[in-house]
């Protein structure tokens, strides 16, 4: 019996969803001693996924599919994986779990040396990948393309130069303003009560717990096993309340995107990244980040949101917040205060964190920076860019999980997400003012409906550039983002 293309893609999606499940377990509840064998399990499944793509019968199914809209994506995937050695894919997959465990240990001890040999392997794998895929410009280009189609080292440098030139004057002006009161953010907050409040907020934002759950992880993340099982995680530090709140809101933004993909795309190529070998419904990392940053910053840090939700937060933590007004809380979570941690950074300095990581990744790929020199390079850049002294590798180059997962090339998508979120909000403000008015009254259903129609439902059937083009927007235009930052902080 001939197996048609859609059935083959559905089976591939099943395998990749299983990989997602194993990775979710590894980062939430797996015993630390299971890292090595889990790496073998993931590597085996990734190898099977590659074999499914390169199976001659898959090519036959593509040929037989004619003008089926899924066929072109499969053709591109076949070409991509045919250029990558099978042993490279399996080695990368097997190493990721081990590297993740080493990163967690290194971060916990604040000792980069523990993670260094594992990161050296990650960089070696990335260089081999770039060589195998080929490039005419920078060796970073093929790595970025996996996460954000169309972007290159050159396009990113142009974008970052424009953003830096626009952000720094706003930052200078903002830092001259009196600092708001923030002492209450650092009081003792019970982790279980933080999780209870985060769960309530996730419900209020529209996250469907019948198709998801909220768990604890060292580094917050979202992962999907089809739109019907989309999971989020956060963390609950006792002495810094915003991390749990905004980490959760951020991940809910990702989850709403995945839960909002049109059901017709389930187990199809439009819910499967056949290049990066991920089961994911969002069209790119940059578009995904636009949804999480939009919810986190444009909604979650707004006065309207906290006029609706601060009373419950104060009821949850009466001893810690009885002397705090809603206005004081809003001012505190929107303060401009350069710090060492990206996920805790204010909106004005956030992208400077991203630019540092991208500079390091580009240098690693071209060989002008050795892995052993990352801590010194990082610390010097934080001093020169933000005036921050790094007291521990845990607060410096070990703070993000991405490199342990092999995600070299993904960091630019955070800034692309910030830019795209501002574009979408300006577009809604100009074309659908009722949506913004509803947001200002803490009614988010019209916003969810607009985003579902414009972005979420398409899954991977349209690229980020195509989605923006349909709205009359350019894919790399930072003007809306800079206008938003200037309006908010000046």
* Secondary element (H or E) of residue 434: helix 433-440
To the query of whether residue 251 is one of the catalytic residues in this protein, the response is yes
Residue-by-residue DSSP string for 51-106? HHHH-HHHHHHHHHHTT-TTHHHHHHHHHHHHTS-HHHHHHHHHHHHHHHHHHHHH
Question: What is the distance between the alpha carbons of residues 104 and 396, in angstroms, rounded to a whole number?
Answer: 14
In sequence order, which residues have a C-beta less than 8 Å from that of residue 234 and are 6 or more positions away?
A: 195, 198, 214, 216, 217, 220, 243, 244, 247, 248, 251
Instruction: Check: CB of residue 15 under 8 Å from CB of residue 52.
Output: yes
Residue 94 and residue 35 in contact, taking contact as beta carbons nearer than 8 Å: no
Residue 29 corresponds to which tokens in the numbers above?
Answer: 């509840």
3-state secondary structure of 172: helix
Element (H, E) at 243: helix 241-259
Element (H, E) at 288: helix 285-293
Q: Are 52 and 12 in contact (CB under 8 A)?
A: yes
Q: Distances in Å between the alpha carbon of 239 and those of 103, 183, 234, 300?
A: 23, 10, 15, 20
Catalytic, out of 251, 258, 289, 361: 251
Residue with tokens 């920078």: 138
- Note whether 463 and 285 are within 8 A (CB): no
* Cβ partners under 8 Å of residue 476, min gap 6: 155, 159, 416, 419
Helix (H) or strand (E) holding 252: helix 241-259
Tokens matching residue 369? 């920076």
Cite the DSSP H helix spans in 295-411: 303-316, 318-321, 326-333, 347-366, 374-386
What pairing do the DSSP bridges indicate for beta strands 222-224 and 230-234? Answer: antiparallel
Structure tokens, 177: 């303003």
Two structure tokens written together for 36: 């090595």
| Backbone angles phi and psi of 222, in degrees to 5 | -125, 145
Cβ 486 vs Cβ 170: under 8 Å: yes
Cα of 473 vs its chain's centroid, Å = 22
Q: Which residues are catalytic?
A: 251
């Amino acid at each position: 019996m001939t197996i048609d293309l859609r059935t083959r893609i559905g089976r591939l999606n099943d395998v990749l969803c299983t990989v997602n499940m194993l990775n979710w377990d590894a980062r939430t509840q797996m015993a630390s001693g299971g890292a090595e064998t889990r790496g073998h399990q993931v590597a085996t499944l990734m190898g099977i996924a590659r074999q499914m793509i390169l199976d001659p019968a898959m090519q036959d199914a593509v040929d037989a599919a004619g003008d089926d809209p899924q066929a072109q994506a499969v053709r591109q995937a076949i070409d991509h994986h045919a250029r990558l050695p099978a042993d490279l894919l399996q080695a990368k997959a097997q190493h990721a779990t081990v590297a993740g465990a080493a990163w967690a240990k290194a971060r916990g001890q604040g000792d980069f040396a523990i993670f260094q040999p594992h990161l050296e392997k990650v960089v070696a794998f990335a260089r081999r990948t770039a060589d195998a895929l080929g490039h005419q410009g920078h060796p970073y280009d093929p790595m970025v393309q996996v996460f954000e189609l169309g972007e290159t080292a050159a396009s990113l440098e142009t974008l970052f130069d424009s953003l830096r030139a626009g952000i720094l004057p706003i930052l200078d002006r903002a830092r001259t303003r009196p600092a708001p009161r923030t002492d209450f953010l650092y009081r003792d907050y019970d982790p279980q009560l933080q999780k209870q409040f985060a769960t309530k907020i996730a419900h209020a934002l529209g996250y469907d717990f019948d198709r998801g759950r909220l768990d604890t992880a060292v580094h917050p993340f979202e992962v999907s096993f089809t739109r019907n099982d989309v999971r989020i995680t956060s963390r609950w530090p006792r002495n810094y309340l915003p991390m749990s709140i905004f980490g959760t809101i951020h991940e809910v933004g990702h989850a709403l995107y995945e839960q909002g993909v049109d059901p017709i795309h389930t187990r199809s190529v439009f819910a499967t990244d056949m290049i990066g070998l991920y089961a994911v419904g969002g069209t790119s990392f940059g578009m995904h980040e636009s949804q999480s940053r939009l919810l986190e910053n444009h909604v979650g840090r707004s006065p309207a949101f906290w006029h609706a939700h601060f009373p419950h937060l104060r009821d949850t933590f009466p001893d810690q917040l009885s002397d705090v007004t809603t206005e004081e809380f809003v001012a505190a979570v929107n303060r401009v205060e350069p710090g060492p941690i990206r996920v805790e950074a204010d909106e004005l300095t956030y992208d400077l964190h991203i630019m540092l990581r991208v500079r390091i990744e580009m240098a690693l790929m071209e060989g002008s920076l050795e892995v052993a020199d990352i801590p010194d390079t990082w610390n010097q850049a934080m001093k020169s860019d933000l005036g921050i002294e790094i007291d521990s590798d845990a607060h410096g180059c070990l703070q993000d999980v991405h490199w342990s997962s092999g995600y070299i090339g993904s960091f630019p998508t955070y800034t692309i997400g910030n830019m795209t979120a501002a574009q979408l909000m300006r577009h809604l403000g100009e074309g659908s003012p009722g949506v913004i008015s509803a947001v200002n009254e803490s009614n988010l259903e019209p916003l969810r409906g607009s985003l579902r129609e414009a972005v979420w439902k398409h899954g991977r059937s349209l690229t980020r550039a195509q989605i923006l083009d349909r709205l009359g927007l350019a894919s790399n235009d930072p003007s809306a983002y800079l206008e938003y930052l200037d309006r908010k902080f000046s």
